[in-house]
Structure 1
Amino acid sequence: MRITVHIDRVVLDGVGGPGDAAAVGEALRTELARLAGDGNFRDARRVTAPDVRLGPVWNPASAGRDIARSIHSGLNERRGA
């Protein structure tokens, strides 16, 4: 089975530094791939993921994982629920 997820953009206002984007992206890709193992996704052209609240201490890897979990949650939502 192949799952393709296209993310237009991730916007992080007021956090991180210039080198953090790559670390956030890598953590997001890794965690989303891990979560995709359950194969429990709905067919969707567009998904709106729940907001992500970042903790008081900035950590790019943690932020990437939290964003991936939010996307996974949006992909698992059932229509009409």
Structure 2
Amino acid sequence: MRTSPASSSRHPSHDRRSPDVSPWYFYAAGSDSVVVIDTATGQLTRTVTVGGAPWAVGVSPDGRRVYVTDTHANAVSVIDTELL
């Protein structure tokens, strides 16, 4: 088992992997961002600010979009993975 630090997060929660298994997306409870982990290296590759209260993460079947709900704003953030 390999553990990777996610220094920008408090408690990893609600994760989703892209259809090709890498990368891995999760939000940290109490944060305003989604963390992106490269599963091949186990390294944190990016932190994306999405809103005040992310609640759930979903990945489109083709892996090109990540959807993150925000309970405070009653909104959904869409991350274009090709721009990451």
TM-score, normalized by the shorter chain, greater than 0.5 = no
Instruction: Select the structure of larger CA radius of gyration.
Output: 1
Q: TM-score range by the shorter chain?
A: 0.3 to 0.5
Greater share of residues in helix: 1
Higher RCO (CA 8 Å, separation ≥ 6 residues): 1
